[in-house]
Amino acid sequence: MKKIVVFLVVLSFFSVSYAVDAKKGDINKGKQLYREVCRSCHDGSKAKKVTPMHKTTAQWKKLFDNDMARLKEKHEGNDAFNKIKAEDFDHIYRFVLDGALDSEQPQTCD
């Protein structure tokens, strides 16, 4: 029980510390980070292939704005994900929003 409580406290800390703001992000840095970190697993071989155009703007916003704790939980133990700095999430967020399925220029990241 004590481990669960500690885990929830740590998880809530990360969800607060990883608050993202697409306005602060740099698209080019985000694209680089996405390729290095996200695509290292989400290329279809280790995990489901996910590119910016796999989700709409609303879906990306929901994931980054409301589900960051869940995202962190799903990637627990993933060294690449855990090395992302808090400000780097802003860059990734900006990149995926800019390349979302319903954006002017959907991105595949290929």
Between 46 and 1, the more confident residue is 46
Give the separation between CA 110 and CA 69, rounded to whole angstroms: 28
Residue 86 is predicted with a pLDDT of 83
Residue 50 is predicted with a pLDDT of 92
- What is the domain partition of the chain in residue ranges? 2-98
pLDDT in tens, 14-64: 444 445 666 789 999 999 999 999 998 898 888 899 999 999 999 999 998
- Give the angle 54-109-73 at the CA atoms, nearest 5°: 60
Between 63 and 7, the more confident residue is 63
Residue 16 is predicted with a pLDDT of 40
pTM of the model: 0.76
C-alpha 30 chain-centroid distance: 10
pLDDT in tens, 61-90: 999 888 888 888 888 888 888 888 888 999
